[in-house]
Amino acid sequence: MTFDYIIIGAGSAGCVLANRLSADPNNQVLLLEAGGPDRKLEIHIPAGYAKLHRSEVDWGFETEPQEHLYNRRIYLPRGKTLGGCSSTNAMAYIRGHREDYNDWAKLGNSTWGYPDVLPYFKRSEHNEQLTQLGSTYHGSGGPLNVTFNQVFRTPAADAFVASCLALGIPENPDVNGAEQEGVGLFQFNIKNQKRHSAATAFLIPALNRPNLKVITRAQTQRILIEQDRAVGVEFLSAGKSLQVASAKKEVILSAGAFNSPQLLLLSGVGAAEELKRFGVPLKKELPGVGQNLQDHLFVNASAITSVKGINHALAPFSQLKYLLQYAIKKNGPMTIGPLEAVAFTKVDKNNDRPDLQLHFAPIQADYATDLHNWKTIPLVDGFSILPTLLKPKSRGYVGLHSNDPHAAPLVQPNFLSEEQDLKILVEGIKLALEIMEQNPLSAITKSKVVPPQYGSSDDAIAEHVKRRLETVYHPVGTCKMGQDEMAVVDDQLRVHGIEGLRVVDASIMPTIVSGNTNAPVYMIAEKAADIILGNSLD
């Protein structure tokens, strides 16, 4: 089988590319997805979020033991279905800070500054609150729905926002607008109280095009490279037959920050020493493949409240009751995911942008809770404030465990290897506890659940961080864009030294953005589509 473009991975980037490239009927496009269709009911119900972890739609990776976290292995959920992580994430739509993109431009990627990328954010977007937020920073008529949750909000969410204001954190009705700093409500990829994933927004509208072929349960084994050119892919279909697809124009790798570098390595592109160790023939030495791994980290501070949250809705009978309410009226707690409000602030007041994000969740989690398994969450209502490290200094890498394409990649993020990362999270927990002391949050708080177990000193809070820290599932940077010796792609997202091969996903970010990473991936794919097709914004 022969196509013009072969896209590996039907995640956020892959779905956008499949739509945009196949819009020209002259382009024959193949989209390969290792997972199955997005038919699982919990994908589409916002409150079904946590039931997606460790399920058939999750790769379910883990890190190597983390030296600075008591050798804990940290769970790394990754979407394995149409839509990728946009079908399994918390649906938050956060773009990051404008200076994040200006930093990319300063690193030699001159067309990726904030003025360059803003139009691509807007192109994707259909913002339901455009009248309220204005068109300077937001779009209308794009495929991807963006909205505040209009039908359900817990009292604790409003109390969190008011308590942040009482502490001097400014109000910000649009953290994706002119300024990021401040406190407000999350914007979400939800439409008509259902998750609006990349598959729903971009792929499904294009499925009837005769020039677009989508194959699910098709795991790519390697990219075929001949004489420094990508000529096709080898993939296993439905776990049985090995097939080859040829690309007349390009192979586009959109498998995410773990699988994209793994596939490059398996295809012979990477550090020669590592490839030799695993018996992979070298096609192109690029030592930066898999390096520069960055991720956001958070840790919870939780309390029990006198007002209703979400915890009680997790009881089996309550789930049935609220599912019925959702099915009939499309309201109630099933219409939201795990997040409601958000704040961006500075621990280091000398910074030019926030270094701390506070995720507010209307769910309390005690020390027995596995944050990825709602069966372990207590049924007593409360909330959690999750301080999040926005600009980690620690760097890790992705490598191979073996030359078997079905083996999980080696993921060594080196969490908290830089002391400054731990200091910011300690200050974040202290800030979260201070917010809990402000009215009106203090008025509805019956008792704090965590972190009082270890005490209130900085050392005690650091102990809490090391024992409870989790990733926010925002891995980036492992096929970074740039011109230095460790860059993997150029500013056109072409793999250095290999013709006809691009990487388009979160792995190309040279530095992590200040906020949730799904919205930036949509932007990257929109911009990449124009680059590939030779289009301009006009």
Domains of the chain listed by start with CATH number = 2-40+199-291+476-533 (3.50.50.60), 41-74+141-195+295-471 (3.30.560.10)
Total residues belonging to the chain: 538
CB 115 within 8 A of CB 98: no
What are the DSSP calls for 244-275, one per residue? EEEEEEEEEE-SHHHHHHHHHHHTTEE-HHHH
Angle between helices 12-22 and 518-533 (to 10 degrees): 30
Identify residue 145 by its one-letter amino acid code: N
Token digits of residue 121:
């954010």
C-alpha count within 13 angstroms, C-beta hemisphere, residue 2 = 3
Identify residue 60 by its one-letter amino acid code: G
Q: How many CB atoms lie within 10 A of CB 310?
A: 27
| Strand, coil or helix: 21 | helix
Angle between helices 114-124 and 98-106 (to 10 degrees): 130
φ, ψ (nearest 5 deg) of residue 320: -65, -45
**Angstrom distance (rounded) from CA 95 to CA 344:** 12
CB 251 within 8 A of CB 21: no
Which pLDDT value is given to residue 454? 66
Which pLDDT value is given to residue 535? 87
CB 478 within 8 A of CB 511: no
Reference 472, options 321, 303, 338, 308; nearest CA is 338
**Angstrom distance (rounded) from CA 225 to CA 513:** 32
Which pLDDT value is given to residue 538? 59
Cα radius of gyration (the chain)? 22
Q: Name the DSSP letter for residue 408.
A: P
Print pLDDT tens along the chain (538 aa).
999 999 999 999 999 999 999 999 999 999 999 999 999 999 999 999 989 999 999 999 999 999 999 999 999 999 999 999 999 999 999 999 999 999 999 999 999 999 999 999 999 999 999 999 999 999 999 999 999 998 999 999 999 999 999 999 999 999 999 999 999 999 999 999 999 999 999 999 999 999 999 999 999 999 999 999 999 999 999 888 899 999 999 999 999 999 999 999 999 999 999 999 999 999 999 999 999 999 999 999 999 999 999 999 999 999 999 999 999 999 999 999 999 999 999 999 999 999 999 999 999 988 777 777 777 889 999 999 999 999 999 999 999 999 999 999 999 999 999 999 999 999 999 999 999 999 999 999 999 998 876 678 999 999 999 999 999 999 999 999 999 999 999 999 999 999 999 999 999 999 999 999 999 999 999 999 999 999 877 5
CB 454 within 8 A of CB 425: no
Catalytic residue among 68, 359, 464, 474: 474
- 126 assigned to active site: no
Q: Which sign, positive or negative, has the C-alpha torsion 528, 187, 469, 459?
A: positive
**Angstrom distance (rounded) from CA 17 to CA 526:** 7
How far is CA 147 from each of CA 83, 130, 372, 400, 525, rounded to the nearest angstrom? Answer: 19, 9, 25, 40, 21
Token digits of residue 374:
């709602």
Asked if omega into 440 is within 30° of 0 (cis), the reply is: yes
Q: How would you classify the pairing of strands 445-450 and 241-253?
A: unpaired
CB 137 within 8 A of CB 178: yes
Q: Name the DSSP letter for residue 201.
A: I
